[in-house]
């Protein structure tokens, strides 16, 4: 039995990609109506703003900031960010959060882990504020003991700092812990490198490589019940 279990959030506890597609569609429609910028032009500008922010702030939690991306997009469009940035930030995230739902079986799996006495932590490259909002909106906050973010550590996955900090918070050794994540390089290989047992959550995605690692397609997988216990 594992004494500690660590979860990535985006793409691991819920479908980030599908939720982002919906949120971006709503976001662009709002921008077109409010600012008069066509969706195609805004998407291109926003993609460029994202590229600029990631290049400038690579491997930092701030590189994921929607505020900075929206600010930069508005500047590229010749718009005053003070007039729009906070409203646009809320438009994106309020819709995103309203349309989130945990992967099937995730809540039951976390509940079983919690009932078994295991400590549970998240480990995410995003900023803390929005990740707390996501976990709360998913209804999973009652099962999770700790949050570890790259904003807190100053490093991003696959840095061992991230994984070791989660172990430290849970008070368990690497060989007593398991890790669930959806990214092979950042999550799975990063966890394995520090001695944590990795479980690659792929859902229904077609993936290649990583044949040495256990792939998980559903939190209702019978094999998970054998490994971690629960009904």
Residues forming the active site: 8, 10
Q: Which two tokens stand for residue 76?
A: 């590229």
Structure tokens at 138: 């998913």
Give, in order, the Cα–Cα distances in Å from 158 to each of 42, 121, 133, 164, 187.
Answer: 32, 16, 24, 11, 6
The distance of Cα 186 from the centroid of its chain, to the nearest Å, equals: 12
| Distance from C-alpha of 213 to C-alpha of 200, rounded to nearest angstrom | 7
> 67-72 long-range contacts, Cβ below 8 Å, gap at least 24?
70/46
Cross-sheet strand order for the sheet of 197-201: 146-149, 119-124, 4-7, 177-181, 197-201, 214-216
């Amino acid at each position: 039995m594992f004494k500690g279990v660590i979860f990535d959030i985006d793409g691991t506890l819920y479908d980030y990609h599908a939720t982002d597609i919906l949120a971006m569609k709503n976001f662009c429609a709002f921008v077109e109506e409010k600012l008069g910028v066509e969706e195609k032009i805004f998407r291109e500008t926003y993609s460029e703003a994202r590229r600029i922010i990631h290049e400038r702030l690579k491997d930092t939690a701030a590189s994921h900031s929607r505020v900075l991306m929206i600010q930069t997009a508005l500047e590229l469009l010749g718009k005053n960010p003070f007039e729009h940035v906070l409203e646009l930030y809320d438009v994106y995230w309020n819709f995103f959060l309203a349309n989130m739902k945990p992967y099937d079986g995730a809540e039951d799996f976390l509940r079983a882990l919690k009932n078994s006495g295991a400590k549970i932590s998240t480990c995410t490259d995003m900023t803390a504020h929005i990740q707390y909002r996501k976990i709360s909106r998913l209804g999973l906050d009652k099962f999770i003991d700790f949050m570890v973010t790259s904003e807190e550590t100053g490093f991003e996955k696959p840095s061992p700092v991230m994984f070791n900090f989660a172990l430290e918070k849970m008070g368990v050794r690497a060989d007593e812990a398991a890790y669930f994540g959806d990214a092979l390089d950042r999550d799975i290989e990063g966890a394995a490198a520090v001695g944590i047992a990795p479980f690659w959550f792929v859902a229904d995605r077609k993936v290649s490589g990583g044949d040495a690692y256990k792939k998980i397609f559903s939190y209702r997988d019978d094999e998970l019940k054998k490994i971690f216990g629960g009904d």
